[in-house]
Structure 1
Amino acid sequence: MIGYYGIDKDAYSGFFVPEESPVKGPRDLLGKKVGMNTLGAHHEAVLDIYLQRGGVSQADVKKVEPLVVPPVNTEQTLRQKQIDVGVLGGIFRDKALAAGGLRKVFSDHDLLGALTAGTYVFRDDFIKRHPETVKAFTAAIAKAIEWSRTTPRRQVIDRFVAIVQKRKRNESPEALKYWKSWGVAGKGGVITDKEFSVWATWLEQQGQIPKGEVKVPDLYTNEFNPYADGGARA
């Protein structure tokens, strides 16, 4: 396994409201509609964590209504007041903020700090059959992460654009200029217990997994990552 996206000061999802909105803290969200890309995943978990840390009871958490809104429509839906709060990240966040009139209430980075939030995974039986393939794939991703982290942003974007143009799929490279970071916390995508325990704890609280049944260290391995021992194998 290897991390491939996450949260940092540049790669984050913010919960935004119109500037004139009365929503400023956790309890202000009661009875409000919160638009996000999907339910039961990252953004809903972050919303619940924010409410819990703000002292909102489990009963009152249910008074906040998360709704699915496609990211491409979130800004418009928020400005038209069809929702009270909209979750915006990446290009959608940057373009919305450039247009003005919105205010961040909180973000996943505010709550969780730097965190690898998603990983590439392989089935156990595939790993057993093709360990060298897994090793090669993981090493390539790890080195690409570190290259993008240590190379000037403009050069990284230029490489992205060149790749898109070379494959000739009638794709627009316009969105690439907004790239800032993958948000991967660990060097080369190395994973830690923290990056699974935050979600495991939330799932336990939701009653989706039995408390204490899932052992976080059993969920992942850094065995194939060349940066697992500090980069000695990179």
Structure 2
Amino acid sequence: MSLFRRALAAATALLTLTAATACGADAEAAGQIKELRYQGSAGQVTLPELAADLGYLGDVELDWIGNVTGGPADIQATATGQSDFGGAFNGAIVKLVAAGAPITAVVSYYGSDAQTFQGYYVLDDSPIRGPRDLIGKKVGMNTLGAHAEAVLKTWLARGGLTPAEIARVELVALPPVNIEQSLRARQIDVAVLGGVIRDKAVAVGGIRTVVTDHELLGAFSAGAYVFRDDFIRRNPDTVRTFVGGVGKAVEWARTQPRETVVARLQQIIAKRGRNEDTSLVSYWKSSGVAGRGGVITDQEFATWIDWLDAAGELKGARPEPGDVYTNGYNPFATGGGAA
């Protein structure tokens, strides 16, 4: 075979391989899941729901499969394949990863700042003022093993309580919409209230703050959305679209007038037709997300890794922050992501 023919054959083979590779990549992208199963929250709008309504999710659609009252249950459903993504307090994500769950956090979705935070509330006439006053008392929260419990125990430990004394503070899991009512009925001594539920309860009056997570820890992103690792490997473009869309929704809500955001949230609830009360979202102030576009920092997981490890609550090897999350699918991590 002449040199020319050899070169022509090599070029033809290269073009054929390139075309096959491109077709394979196109087929793989086309075969990625574009409908994401998820759990919502009654009377509230999640950031993915807001992103979808704003058109930020492109060809990715959301499939609501029901509501959930706590983050640990939400990410457990994701880990077991009942849903495609879920969100929870970062400490709860750490515990699940340490226990061997193949999940990775990809974008922050809630946090605490001066406007939006989680507070520990008592009735105005309650004698509870400081950490030691909680010994033997009941504290109502939306779920155990998550944000509310971690912050409470951090505050109690900083207040000088021993592990034995902390164990005497009774934690009671209640549906979020019932916590305020339980406090006012004196069924619990302290109510952990956050977001719009907190704002509504404060507006009614008759309760006062004992401590807030913002006072204790400053502004921080507290929770993230996770996907299963195998889902990420098979559907990288879908995950990238989702994360970018949620990040854009974070920034849209951060930069719009509050009245505009509230009106949009009310419209979303009305359109989805789930027979929900829209009064809660009228108290919306912010998502509390600290990082631009939901970008995650090491510290937002390291804080809870250290706390859980010291408390002996990690089942399995102690993970590093990089074992738990990635910003690799978030365009805001590299300066992009603008709407």
Equivalence for 2:70: none
Q: State the TM-score, normalized to the length of structure 2.
A: 0.65
What does residue 265 of structure 2 align with?
A: 160
Contact 1:17 1:86 in 2 (8 A): yes
User: How far apart are 1:170 and its partner, in Å?
Assistant: 4.1
CA contact (8 A) 1:204 1:211 kept: no
TM-aligned CA deviation for residue 212 of structure 1: 7.1
Please tell me whether residue 226 in structure 1 is matched to residue 331 in structure 2.
Answer: yes
Tell me the secondary structure at the aligned position of residue 83 of structure 1.
coil
Structure 1 residues 137 and 53: alpha-carbon distance in aligned structure 2, compared to 1, 3 A threshold: same
1:67-115 deviation per Cα after TM superposition (whole angstroms, max 9, x unaligned): 1122222222212222111111223222222222211000111112111
Task: Supply the AA of the counterpart residue of 2:131.
Answer: P
2:159 is aligned, of 48, 54, 58, to 54
**Aligned twin of 1:133:** 238
Preserved contact between residue 197 and residue 280 of structure 2 (Cα < 8 Å): no
Structure 1 unmatched ranges of 5 or more? none
Decide whether the 8 Å contact of 1:35 with 1:69 is kept in 2. Answer: yes
Deviations 1:178-225 (A, max 9, x none): 111111110000001111122222321332226972111221110111
Match of 2:252 in 1: 147
Seen in structure 2, the aligned counterparts of structure 1 residues 169 and 38 have a Cα distance that, compared at 3 Å, is closer
**Alpha-carbon separation, structure 2, partners of 1:184 and 1:163:** 21
- Provide Cα deviations, 1:11-57, integer angstroms capped at 9, x if missing partner: 21111111121111111111111111111111111110001111111
Shift of 1:8: 1.3
Query: Is 1:7 aligned to 2:7, yes or no?
Result: no
- Seen in structure 2, the aligned counterparts of structure 1 residues 131 and 50 have a Cα distance that, compared at 3 Å, is same
Q: Which runs of 5+ in 2 are unaligned?
A: 1-105
Q: Which residue of 1 aligns with 2:169?
A: 64
| Counterpart for residue 26 of structure 1 | 131
Give the Cα–Cα distance (whole angstroms) in 2 for the partners of residues 90 and 64 of structure 1: 24
Letter in 1 for 2:165: D
Q: How many residues align?
A: 233
Deviations 1:142-163 (A, max 9, x none): 1111011011111112222333
TM-score of the aligned structures, taking structure 1 as reference length: 0.92
Structure 1 CA distance for aligned equivalents of residues 317 and 304 of structure 2? 13
Greater CA drift, 198-207 or 152-161? 198-207
- 2:200 and 2:280 in contact (8 A); partners too: no
- Does structure 1 residue 95 correspond to structure 2 residue 200? yes
* 1:16 lines up with 2:121 in the alignment: yes
Match of 2:319 among 214, 222, 231: 214
Distance 1:66 1:174, change over 3 A: same
Give the SS at the match of 2:143.
coil
Q: Counterparts of 1:192 and 1:139 in 2: how far apart (Å)?
A: 17
* Correspondent of 2:179 among 48, 57, 74: 74
Shift in CA distance, 129/17, structure 1 to aligned 2, threshold 3 Å: same
Question: Alpha carbon RMSD of aligned pairs, Å?
Answer: 1.8
Cα distance, 1:232–1:49 mapped onto 2, change above 3 Å: same
Q: 1:35 to 1:169 in 2, by over 3 A?
A: closer
Q: Which amino acid aligns with 1:198?
A: T
Secondary structure of the corresponding residue to residue 116 of structure 1? strand
Which one has the largest radius of gyration? Answer: 2
| Distance in structure 1 (CA, Å) of the matches to 2:273 and 2:264 | 15
Q: Whose relative contact order is higher, 1 or 2, with alpha carbons under 8 Å and at least 6 apart?
A: 1
Cα distance change on mapping 1:191 and 1:70 into 2, 3 Å: same
1:183 to 283, 288, 292: 288
Secondary structure in structure 1 of the residue aligned to 2:227:
coil
